[in-house]
Every structure is written in C-alpha cells, then in structure tokens.
Amino acid sequence: MSGRERVRRSALRWVLLLQGGALLMPFFLLAMVALGLAIPGVVPLGPPLAWQFAGLGLALPVAALTGLLLPPLRALEASAVRTLCGVPREALATGPATSWASRRRTAAWFTLHAGVGAVVSGMTLAVPPMAVVLLVYPLFPVLQEVEWSWPWDHAGAAVWTAPPAGCALLLGLAAVAHGTGALLARCAPVLLGPTPADRLAAAERRAADLAERNRLARELHDSVGHALSAVSLQAGAARHVLDTDPRFTREALAAIEETARNAVTELDSVLGVLGLPGRPDGPDRPDRPGHSGHSGHSGHSGRSDRSGRPQEPRQQPGDGGPGRAPSLADGLEPLLARTRATGAEVRLTLDPGLGPLEELPYEVSAAAFRIVQEGLSNALRHAPGAPVRITLEAHRAPHGPELVLGAENPVPDVPVPARASGGRGLSGIAERARLLGGSARAGPEDGVWRLTARLPLRPAPATGPRTSTGTEADTATGTTTSGETNADAGADTDTETSTDTVAEAGRESSG
C-alpha cells in the first residue's frame, strides 16, 4: 500500500470516529441534563471538566442499550465500517442482528464506536485551535499578554517553545486518531462479523440455491436431453427411408415437430421457476406444486388410502399445464408414442393393483415419469433398435406401499461409443429416488440392461439436498445406482460418490 493510500485510509477512519462522536451526542446531552437535575450546581457543558466525563460515562450504557434493542443498527454500522475502514465485505454481517448473541456484539461495537469516537471528536474540536495559537504565539505580542492555562510558561526566552508544542499537539492528535481507527478496524470483524447462527443460515441459503440449481439441471437434462435423442433418431430413420417410404418419412417429420414442440413447452415450464413474483409462470404461480394457495396441491386432499391414512395430493387428469412438470397421468402415453415414432418397440406393463395413474401422488408420479423418460433415452442412445419393456407395479414393502418401476432392454452386441460428457442421467435418477425416500439401481444382468426404481407412495421427508457425481449410494435408504451405461455393460466395477451440499456449504462458511 502506497503512502497516499495509507493517509487516505487513516483520514476515512478519522471520519468514522467523528461519526461515532456525533452518534453519542444525543445520549451525552441527555446525561448532562440528568446530572444537572439530579445534582444542584452542575452546569451542563460547563466547568469543571470532570462533570463532562461523568456525563460521558452515563451516556455509554444508554448507547449500549440502544445497540441491544435495535437489530437494524448492525447493518448500518457494518455498512459504515466497510466504506470508511476498508474492512472486506465478507468479514462483516450484511443483515440485521436477529439473535441475542449478535445483538450483544452489536451493542459492544456501538458502545466502543461511540465512546472512542466521542473522545477523538472532543480532541479534534479542542486541539487544532490550541495548536494554531501556539504556532503563532511568538509572532503576536497580544497573545503573550493573555494569561493562558498552560502547564508551562512561554514568557521570555521560552516563547519559542510554543510552536514546537503546537506541532506536537497536532502530531499527537493524528497519532491518536490513527491508533483508535486501527483499533476499530481490528474489532469490527469480531463484533460486526457473522455469528455461527449467521454462518449456518448463509450455508442453508447456499445449499438451497445449489439444490434448486441441481433440480433445474435434472429437469433440463431429462426433458430436453430425451427430446434431442428422440429427434436425432427420428431424423436418422427418416433420412434412410426418404426415397423408399415417403409415408414413414412424413410420420417421422410429424413426430419430430411434436417432440420439439413438447420440448419447448417443458423448457418453458422448467425455466418458469426463474420468473419474477407475480408473473403467470413465476414461482408464486398458484398451481405450482407446493404453493399454499392451491387447495389441490398443498396439504392433504382429505382422502385416505386403504390403510386409512391421509394421502398426498393427487394428480388430476390433464393437470400438467405450463409451469407444472409432466407426470405419468398426462405424460406417459405421449412419451411412449414419441419413442415408438423412432422405430423402437416399446411395451408397457401396468399392474392392476396400482390403480389409475391419476390417483398417484403428484410428486411420485412426476419423478416416475422422469425416470421412465431417462430409461427410454438411455435405451435409444445406447441400444438403438432394441425392444424396451417398461413395467409399473405396486408392491407392499415393510415401510408401506411403493411404486416399483422397471425399464429393461437387451445389451447390444456392439457397444455404442459413450459420450465424453455423459453420465448424468443415472445419478439424476438416484437423486430423484432418494429425495422421495426410495432407491434406484441400474446395471447389466444376464445380457439385459435393467433399471429398477422403488418409490414410496407416501414419500418420506428428504434428509437434505445433495449433489451427486456418477453413481450414488444412500446408506439410509439403500439407494444404489450403477455408473455404467449400455456402452460399458462389460465393466465389472461401479464407482460410488456422494457429496452432502449442506455440510459442504457449512465447511465453506466456517472456513
């Protein structure tokens, strides 16, 4: 730091000290008036000087009480410290003091700021005039005729000692201001910095942001990725039979048009969560899942399952409109039709015990739809032309009824080269299952690539958002997903990696 920068920083800290003295002035005047009323003969702001220090001592507890009872004071003081003291932004809290621990720290800071600032402000008002008088004292005989209350006599030969004394006073004032400013800059991060509760809240906000980003990434991967895979296969099939089978070519082009249109619709619904509040597709849309303003999708619907327990909100037929992710009820048949348009043979087996798909909990139905979509995408990408079998069954597990979803296709004899940037779909399936308290597994078995997901029909609360890479294993629910693809079906080992976003964010904030 250059000398000019040091002078500038010291000057700004001096301004912060003067601000502290100005903030204490109302409390100081109140204390002096109280002393004048309580003790006869005390003149506010008059001699002796001891009464003024007594008023300062009485004003500081009142200032501390103010810092304790006014939560927004921390944000105001932190803003002043960042601007005038040069303290880094990340070292100071940005919001009001919400906990009593942060309020006590704010009260301590405000008391220190006001008390030290009052002393430096008093010196700033008194020392410069006195120093000017001493500097010009030898030049004006009229000043030598005045009886000054100085601790030494400047008359006679000692008259020229006055200018050095004036310079010493100015240097002393500058040194005191510099030292107290440095003291405030050192204490500010301790007293105005984030408390452990603030760090935890910030970590939770970061974890929520990461979870939302991961959710958007999964939705985009599943919807747009599947559409692009289907369009690619449909276009390739149409190109091969363009001259020999015009009818199939027209059907393929129509399927490409419908697939692209549906992909745009799903993309709009996914990006709708980024809209501003109040927009038709914004996050406060009444028909958005989980919004409290829509009775059909929040709380309980009032119906019970076979065990008499309240059911989760049900997906209504045709309720998958803009701003709402597709589910098995409204998206499964169009999905299968688009996949069959690529020339693939897709068979669907529904368990009668499962009941109407419209009666499934929406969260489970939407997650199951995405899992089926990803299973079909993998089959189209890694085993083109192979028949695919989709099964939806209802099982009775020890923890309650669950939806068991399966997707299987033969492993191709000649592996399709894997994409360098692939591998996100299976981890997304595992994450979806885990968030509902279920499990997922994928891998080759006896020449067949088999994907199996188990989703409780009464989803358990999630233990916390996580981000996953490659394969994931959840020890709490038994979630295991193979990181292999159909192109790597011969591999013998699976890797499993999982990172906890909340814990990671907490470690970042504490570091």
What is the rounded CA–CA span in Å between residue 34 and residue 62?
Answer: 13
| Interval 3-25 mean pLDDT | 92
- pLDDT (tens digit per residue) in 415-466: 655 554 455 677 778 888 888 889 999 888 888 989 999 999 875 544 444 3
Share above pLDDT 70 across residues of the chain, in percent, rounded to a whole number:
73
- pLDDT in the model for residue 295: 36
Full DSSP string of 382-417? HSTT--EEEEEEEEEETTEEEEEEEEEEEPPSSPPP
Q: How confident is the model at residue 342 (pLDDT cuts 50, 70, 90)?
A: confident
Full DSSP string of 36-91? HHHSTTPPTT-S-HHHHHHHHHHHHHHHHHHHHH-THHHHHHHHHHHHHH---GGG
Structure-token pair, residue 202: 């910030």
- Record the pTM: 0.50
- pLDDT in the model for residue 424: 63
More confident call, 180 vs 40: 180
Give the best-scoring range by mean pLDDT among 227-236, 433-442, 499-508: 433-442
Share above pLDDT 90 across residues of the chain, in percent, rounded to a whole number:
28
Nearest to 114 by CA among 60, 194, 179, 187: 60
pLDDT at 108 over 90: yes
- Contact residues for 159 (Cβ-Cβ < 8 A; gap 6+): 137, 138, 144
- pLDDT in the model for residue 330: 87
- pLDDT in the model for residue 348: 93
Paired strand residues for 349? 391
What is the rounded CA–CA span in Å between residue 331 and residue 357?
Answer: 11
- pLDDT (tens digit per residue) in 21-77: 999 999 999 998 888 888 887 777 767 778 888 888 999 999 999 999 999 999 999
What is the rounded CA–CA span in Å between residue 311 and residue 355?
Answer: 14
What is the rounded CA–CA span in Å between residue 461 and residue 189?
Answer: 38
What is the rounded CA–CA span in Å between residue 436 and residue 371?
Answer: 13
Nearest to 183 by CA among 92, 117, 89, 91: 117
- pLDDT (tens digit per residue) in 194-224: 888 888 888 888 888 887 777 777 777 776 7
What is the rounded CA–CA span in Å between residue 453 and residue 378?
Answer: 15
Q: Vertex 265, ends 260 and 268: CA angle to 5°? A: 125
CB 297 within 8 A of CB 290: yes
Give the best-scoring range by mean pLDDT among 166-180, 232-246, 281-295, 468-482: 166-180
pLDDT at 333 over 50: yes
pLDDT at 168 over 90: yes
What is the rounded CA–CA span in Å between residue 464 and residue 160?
Answer: 77
Tokens 């601000």 sit on residue: 19
Q: How confident is the model at residue 20 (pLDDT cuts 50, 70, 90)?
A: very high
- pLDDT in the model for residue 509: 39
List the helix and strand counts (H, then E) for the chain. 12, 9
Q: Vertex 455, ends 450 and 458: CA angle to 5°? A: 170
Per the prediction, the chain carries an average pLDDT of: 76
Least confident of 203-212, 334-343, 384-393, 500-509: 500-509
Residue 209 vs residues 274, 432, 503, 507: alpha-carbon distances, Å: 12, 17, 14, 16
Map residue 456 onto helix, strand or coil. Answer: strand
Structure-token pair, residue 33: 């008036």
| Interval 259-282 mean pLDDT | 63
> Counting Cβ atoms within 10 Å, is residue 119 exposed (0-12), middle (13-18) or buried (19+)?
middle
More confident call, 125 vs 244: 125
Phi first, then psi: what are they for 440, rounded to 5°? Answer: -150, 145
- Residue type for position 205: R
H-run or E-run covering 230: helix 196-240
| Interval 143-153 mean pLDDT | 69
- pLDDT in the model for residue 270: 67
- pLDDT in the model for residue 63: 93
- pLDDT in the model for residue 16: 95
What's 462's DSSP letter? P
